[in-house]
Amino acid sequence: MKAYMKTAYSLLAGGLFLLSSCSKFLDERPQAIAAENFYTTPIEVESGLNAIYETVRYLSTFGGFYTIQHEINTEYMYGRGSFAPMNSYDGLDNTNVGRITDTWNNFYKGIRNANLVIQKAPLAPAVTDAEKLRYVAEARFMRGLFYFHLVRNWAGVPLHTEHNLDSINVKKSSPEVIYNLIQEDLVFAENNLPDNPRMVGTASKWTAKTALAEVYLTLKKYDLARKAAWEVIDSRKFSLVSVSVADDFEKLFGRDANNTSEEIFYFKYSSKVAGQGYQYLAYLHATKTTNFPPGGFGTIYADSLNTFMKNWDRADLRYRFTWYAADVNISPTTVLCKKFSDRQATIQQGNNDYPLYRYADLLLFYAEAEAGLNNGPTADAVEKLNMVRRRAYGKPVNTADPLIDIKLTDYTGYDAFAKRVVLERAYETVGEGKHWFDLKRLGIAQQVIKDVEGLNMTQKHLLWPIPPREFNGNTALDPTADQNPGY
């Protein structure tokens, strides 16, 4: 029996994101209640928390365009139509600057909603001290997460917190300052969030530890990254979902995949509620395909003869699950991504969720951190990598397989092994918009694009420009001094 949880929430710019423990259900009922009269009871504070998650469903964020743009940047994917200029690796043209303006605005909307909870929850008269800590921890997790995505795309950005909530004119802070806040927020979340999330699709302490592992990897703090990742592994709360045939990956990415043993943190979508479906699918699929009956635009695509694709072992079940041939007037070897398919869809939105953090991500974070800490691969690091590889071939994850396993002697030194881990993570997360961040984090993005696509990436392409609209509205920013180089 499905138990649906419905609660109305009120915020100035609000929308409600709710999920039941047994099924996905989202409901939005915005009302005009001023913030100073809100956040007084647990129901109201939790409604404010739910509003933070609203922005992840937007087309400009994780609902579509944000993922698309990061996928186009990879060595294996290309963009069509108005996204095609990104294939030149020469920065963003005006159309794509307009798109990232919406991304910027909506990340900051999520940050504002988080700041409201951080500021107001401690003052709520009908909320216990224990509840206040949990609520603030969840809001700080989401704020840290949004800033983590801002800083990796834009470097230094204006720092809006609960202390300058009403300030419009906020100067640009350095990446170091932004990363300090991210770490403080995530550590606070790690220490104060519960073991189990408030609702499916919200953050837990394990979500915070996983995010910290990635943040620490980005900052090359390998000891802290390993520690955070190990604590998630050692909790034994998560495990890789078993597969034996390619279609079994539907259990992770399909329209009904929800709250599996591998799910650490998924953004939740529902095509059953108007405007809350996963819009990304419409940009992945061909005009006519059973993988998405309403049809799509085929906005991003790959070529099976691309070096990355050609070298991908066809016995790997992930390849078979991910790609399908489609005629979109480009090449006979064109393939589209079917990782996220909804074969029951009746509108141009899917019922699938976005897997921000899976246990497979966490194992690979651990493998890289362990190698970084020891200046080269260890048996432990190689085993975590091999667990992910074995599952990819439909094998038992904890049983050594000499035909599949990477050997400790295959790679010497950290750099070579880290590149191999990131390659494996590319196979594992293709279509999820994560590989570009890995290439940038290792400092190999320009070389990889040169090696695979034969193109010279400009330095400015590694960052996005601060949107012109921000300079127009924020007088604390200098349009010349504060803009990212090359724009």
Give the C-alpha distances (Å, rounded to integers) separating 380 from 330, 365, 408. 44, 12, 9
Cα–Cα distance, 265 to 236 (Å, whole number)? 16
Q: Which of 296, 315, 346 is a domain's end point?
A: 346
222 and 307 fall within a common domain = no
pLDDT at 31: 38
Residue 312 lies in a domain: yes
Provide the domain count of the chain. 2
371 and 285 fall within a common domain = no
Average pLDDT of the chain to the nearest whole number: 93
3-class DSSP state of 202: coil
Cα–Cα distance, 405 to 390 (Å, whole number)? 7
Q: Decide if 101 contacts 467 (C-beta within 8 A).
A: yes
Residue 467 lies in a domain: no
Residue 291 lies in a domain: yes
329 and 361 fall within a common domain = no
pLDDT at 275: 85
b vs e for 214-245, b when ≥16 Cβ sit within 10 Å of the residue's Cβ?
bbbbbbebbebbbbbbbbbbeeeebebbebee
> What's the token pair of residue 136?
């603030």
Minimum mean pLDDT among 17-26, 115-124, 246-255: which range? 17-26
Residue 129 lies in a domain: no
451 and 358 fall within a common domain = yes
258 and 360 fall within a common domain = yes
392 and 300 fall within a common domain = no
3-class DSSP state of 266: strand
Residue 69 lies in a domain: no
292 and 435 fall within a common domain = no
Task: Tell me which of 22 and 420 has the higher pLDDT.
Answer: 420
Residue 43 lies in a domain: no
317 and 370 fall within a common domain = no
Banded model confidence at residue 125, pLDDT cuts 50, 70, 90? very high
3-class DSSP state of 225: helix
> What's the token pair of residue 137?
């921890």
Residue 432 belongs to domain spanning: 204-268+353-456
Helices (H) then strands (E): counts for the chain: 17, 8
The percentage of the chain sitting over the pLDDT mark of 90, rounded to a whole number, equals: 91
Q: What are phi and psi of 157, to 5 degrees?
A: -145, 165
Cα–Cα distance, 437 to 161 (Å, whole number)? 25
Banded model confidence at residue 274, pLDDT cuts 50, 70, 90? confident
291 and 358 fall within a common domain = no
Q: Decide if 144 contacts 189 (C-beta within 8 A).
A: yes
pLDDT digits (tens, 9 = 90+) for 320-338: 999 999 999 999 999 999 9
Contacts 24+ apart (CB under 8 A), 424-427: 424/364, 424/385, 424/388, 424/389, 425/361, 425/364, 426/74, 426/76, 426/308, 427/312, 427/316, 427/318, 427/319, 427/392
215 and 313 fall within a common domain = no
Q: What are phi and psi of 455, to 5 degrees?
A: -110, 145
- CA 88, 108, 25, 11 torsion-angle sign: negative
Banded model confidence at residue 1, pLDDT cuts 50, 70, 90? very low
CATH of the domain at 412: 1.25.40.900
- Rounded to two decimals, the pTM is 0.93
Q: Which of 346, 375, 394 is a domain's end point?
A: 346
Give the C-alpha distances (Å, rounded to integers) separating 138 from 192, 193, 259, 350, 383. 8, 7, 19, 27, 33
Angle at 300 between CA 295 and CA 304, to 5 degrees: 105
> What's the token pair of residue 246?
């390619």
pLDDT at 38: 84
340 and 436 fall within a common domain = no
pLDDT at 2: 30
Minimum mean pLDDT among 14-18, 207-211, 271-275: which range? 14-18
> What's the token pair of residue 380?
């432990």
Give the C-alpha distances (Å, rounded to integers) separating 112 from 34, 167, 202, 250, 286. 14, 11, 18, 35, 37
Residue 248 lies in a domain: yes
221 and 242 fall within a common domain = yes
3-class DSSP state of 277: coil
Phi-psi region of 433 (alpha: psi -120 to 50; beta: other; left: phi over 0): left
Residue 252 lies in a domain: yes
Q: Decide if 484 contacts 466 (C-beta within 8 A).
A: yes
How large is the average pLDDT for residues 384-399?
A: 98
